[in-house]
A and B are shown apart, each in its own frame.
Chain A
Amino acid sequence: MTSPLKSFLYGLTLLASSVLSAEEVVIGSSPAQADLKLGCMYPLSGSSALWGRDAVAGMKLALTHLATKKKTAPQITIYISDTMGKAYRSREITQQLLTHKKVDALCGVVNSAIALETSRIAKKKQILFLGAGHSTSRTTEEELHPWYFHLNNDASQSMMAGALYLQELQKTDKWKTLSYIGPDYEYGHQIWQKLTQSLDALGVKYQINDEFYSLHNESSYGTYIKAIASNPPDILINGHWTQDLVRFVEQANNTGLLQQSRFANFDTGGGYFALSRLQDSLPDGLILSARHHINWPETARNQEFIDHFYQQNNRLPTFVAQDAYTVIIAIADAWQQSPEKSMASIRQTLEGLKLSLPEDPVGFQSYIDPATHKIMQVQAIGVTRRSTDKETLSVKLADWKIYYPEPFHYDR
Chain B
Amino acid sequence: MESSIPAQEPTRSQSIRFWENSIVRRYFFLSLLVTFIPLVITIFLYDRLTGELQQNIDQQRYQLQLKQVKSEMTSMLQRHQTALRAIASLPDIGKLLQKDVQLSSATLNLIYFDIDRPEIYGALFFSHQWQLKQALPGQSASGSPYWNGDTFSIEQLPKIQIGSDWLIGPQPPLRGKSGWYLIARQIEALDQGKESPGYVAFQVRLASLTSPLTILDSEQSGYGCLKTSSNSCFSSLAGLKPPSKNTISSVNFLSNWQIQLNPDVSFQQASFYQESQTSQRGLYMAVAIITLTLVSLFFTALVARTRRRIQPLIHGAEAIADGHWNHIIPSTGHDEITQLTRSLNRMAEQLKSLMSARIQMEKKVTQGDFATGVAHEIRNPLATIKVCLQSLPLSSNNAQATELKQLMLEEIDRINQLIQNLLDYSKPPKPLTHQIDCSALLQRVLILVEPLAKEHSIALTLKTSDQTQCKADPEQLHQVIMNLLLNSIEALSGTEHGQIHLHCYQQNDKAVITVTDNGPGISETDQKKVMEPFFTTKTSGTGLGLAISARLVELNNGQLSLSSRGADQTSNQLDSGTTAILTFNI
A contact residues vs B (CB 8 Å cutoff): 3-5, 7-8, 11-12, 14-15, 85-88, 91-92, 95, 111, 113-114, 116-117, 138, 141-143, 184-186, 188-190, 192-193, 196, 208, 210-213, 215-217, 223-224, 226-227
Pick from A85, A88, A227: contact of B109, CB under 8 Å: A88
Do the beta carbons of A14 and B113 come within 8 Å of each other?
yes
Do the beta carbons of B112 and A223 come within 8 Å of each other?
no
Do the beta carbons of A185 and B141 come within 8 Å of each other?
yes
Do the beta carbons of A8 and B239 come within 8 Å of each other?
no
Do the beta carbons of A143 and B118 come within 8 Å of each other?
no
Cβ contacts A to B, 10 pairs, < 8 Å: A11-B110, A88-B116, A113-B142, A185-B118, A189-B142, A190-B176, A196-B176, A208-B175, A215-B208, A223-B214
When distances are taken between beta carbons in the complex, the residues of chain B under 8 Å from A141 are 149
- The interface bits of chain B over 222-236 (1 if a CB of A lies within 8 angstroms of the residue's CB, else 0) are 000000000000011
A395 → chain B closest CB, angstroms? 30
When distances are taken between beta carbons in the complex, the residues of chain A under 8 Å from B112 are 87-88, 91
**How far, in whole Å, are A12 and B111 apart by their CA atoms in the complex?**
10
Task: Say if the beta carbon of B105 comes within 8 Å of chain A.
Answer: yes
Do the beta carbons of A216 and B175 come within 8 Å of each other?
no
Task: Say if the beta carbon of B137 comes within 8 Å of chain A.
Answer: yes
Do the beta carbons of B148 and A185 come within 8 Å of each other?
no
Do the beta carbons of A142 and B148 come within 8 Å of each other?
yes
When distances are taken between beta carbons in the complex, the residues of chain A under 8 Å from B178 are 184, 189, 213
When distances are taken between beta carbons in the complex, the residues of chain B under 8 Å from A190 are 142, 176
Please name the residue on chain A nearest to B138 by beta carbon. A87
Pick from A3, A116, A184, A210: contact of B146, CB under 8 Å: A116
Please name the residue on chain A nearest to B139 by beta carbon. A87
When distances are taken between beta carbons in the complex, the residues of chain B under 8 Å from A216 are 118, 139-140
Pick from A8, A189, A213: contact of B207, CB under 8 Å: A213
**How far, in whole Å, are A53 and B90 apart by their CA atoms in the complex?**
38
**How far, in whole Å, are A224 and B114 apart by their CA atoms in the complex?**
27
Please name the residue on chain A nearest to B178 by beta carbon. A213
Pick from B147, B175, B235: contact of A138, CB under 8 Å: B147
When distances are taken between beta carbons in the complex, the residues of chain A under 8 Å from B83 are 7
Task: Say if the beta carbon of B86 comes within 8 Å of chain A.
Answer: yes
User: Which of A95, A189, A192 has the most chain B CB atoms closer than 10 A to its own CB?
Assistant: A189
Please name the residue on chain B nearest to A217 by beta carbon. B118
**How far, in whole Å, are A3 and B82 apart by their CA atoms in the complex?**
8
B268 → chain A closest CB, angstroms? 15
Do the beta carbons of A138 and B149 come within 8 Å of each other?
yes
- The interface bits of chain B over 92-121 (1 if a CB of A lies within 8 angstroms of the residue's CB, else 0) are 000000000000011011101110101101
Given A12-B110, A215-B207, the answer on whether A113 and B176 have CB atoms closer than 8 Å is no
**How far, in whole Å, are A35 and B138 apart by their CA atoms in the complex?**
35
Contact-residue size bin, chain B (C-beta under 8 Å from the other chain): 35 or more
A38 → chain B closest CB, angstroms? 23
A13 → chain B closest CB, angstroms? 10
A194 → chain B closest CB, angstroms? 9
Do the beta carbons of A184 and B173 come within 8 Å of each other?
no
Pick from B89, B137, B175, B237: contact of A113, CB under 8 Å: B137
Task: Say if the beta carbon of B165 comes within 8 Å of chain A.
Answer: no
Do the beta carbons of A114 and B110 come within 8 Å of each other?
no
Do the beta carbons of A12 and B106 come within 8 Å of each other?
yes
Do the beta carbons of B237 and A11 come within 8 Å of each other?
no
Do the beta carbons of B114 and A215 come within 8 Å of each other?
no
Pick from A7, A142, A184, A208: contact of B118, CB under 8 Å: A184
**How far, in whole Å, are A7 and B217 apart by their CA atoms in the complex?**
35
Task: Say if the beta carbon of B177 comes within 8 Å of chain A.
Answer: yes
Of residues 76 through 93 on chain B, the ones whose CB sits less than 8 Å from some CB of chain A are 82-83, 85-86, 89-90
**How far, in whole Å, are A212 and B173 apart by their CA atoms in the complex?**
10
Do the beta carbons of B86 and A5 come within 8 Å of each other?
yes
Per CB-CB distance, the 3 closest pairs between chain A and chain B, nearest first, are: A88-B112, A193-B176, A142-B149
User: Which of A91, A116, A213, A226 has the most chain B CB atoms closer than 10 A to its own CB?
Assistant: A213
Do the beta carbons of A11 and B90 come within 8 Å of each other?
no
When distances are taken between beta carbons in the complex, the residues of chain A under 8 Å from B175 are 192-193, 196, 208, 211
Of residues 241 through 299 on chain B, the ones whose CB sits less than 8 Å from some CB of chain A are none
Do the beta carbons of A8 and B90 come within 8 Å of each other?
yes
Given A11-B110, A11-B114, A143-B148, the answer on whether A113 and B141 have CB atoms closer than 8 Å is yes
A231 → chain B closest CB, angstroms? 10
**How far, in whole Å, are A3 and B178 apart by their CA atoms in the complex?**
31
User: Which of B147, B178, B211, B235 has the most chain A CB atoms closer than 10 A to its own CB?
Assistant: B147
| Given A11-B114, A15-B110, 10 new contacts (CB under 8 A) | A11-B113, A87-B112, A143-B147, A184-B140, A184-B142, A184-B207, A185-B141, A212-B239, A223-B236, A227-B239
Do the beta carbons of B148 and A95 come within 8 Å of each other?
no
Pick from A111, A196, A211, A215: contact of B173, CB under 8 Å: A211
User: Which of B108, B176, B208 has the most chain A CB atoms closer than 10 A to its own CB?
Assistant: B176
B487 → chain A closest CB, angstroms? 113
Do the beta carbons of B109 and A113 come within 8 Å of each other?
no
Task: Say if the beta carbon of B205 comes within 8 Å of chain A.
Answer: yes
Do the beta carbons of B147 and A185 come within 8 Å of each other?
no
When distances are taken between beta carbons in the complex, the residues of chain A under 8 Å from B330 are none
Task: Say if the beta carbon of B158 comes within 8 Å of chain A.
Answer: no
**How far, in whole Å, are A196 and B110 apart by their CA atoms in the complex?**
37
Please name the residue on chain B nearest to A14 by beta carbon. B113
Please name the residue on chain A nearest to B89 by beta carbon. A4
**How far, in whole Å, are A144 and B25 apart by their CA atoms in the complex?**
97
Pick from B105, B114, B176: contact of A95, CB under 8 Å: B105
Given A113-B140, A116-B146, the answer on whether A184 and B109 have CB atoms closer than 8 Å is no
**How far, in whole Å, are A356 and B137 apart by their CA atoms in the complex?**
36
Task: Say if the beta carbon of B494 comes within 8 Å of chain A.
Answer: no
Given A4-B85, A223-B217, the answer on whether A15 and B113 have CB atoms closer than 8 Å is yes
When distances are taken between beta carbons in the complex, the residues of chain A under 8 Å from B82 are 3-4, 7
When distances are taken between beta carbons in the complex, the residues of chain A under 8 Å from B110 are 8, 11-12, 15
**How far, in whole Å, are A74 and B533 apart by their CA atoms in the complex?**
162
When distances are taken between beta carbons in the complex, the residues of chain B under 8 Å from A14 are 113
**How far, in whole Å, are A196 and B175 apart by their CA atoms in the complex?**
9
- The interface bits of chain B over 528-555 (1 if a CB of A lies within 8 angstroms of the residue's CB, else 0) are 0000000000000000000000000000
**How far, in whole Å, are A210 and B239 apart by their CA atoms in the complex?**
9
**How far, in whole Å, are A193 and B146 apart by their CA atoms in the complex?**
17
Do the beta carbons of B90 and A142 come within 8 Å of each other?
no
Please name the residue on chain B nearest to A137 by beta carbon. B149
**How far, in whole Å, are A215 and B76 apart by their CA atoms in the complex?**
15
When distances are taken between beta carbons in the complex, the residues of chain A under 8 Å from B113 are 11, 14-15, 88
**How far, in whole Å, are A212 and B214 apart by their CA atoms in the complex?**
15
When distances are taken between beta carbons in the complex, the residues of chain B under 8 Å from A142 are 147-149
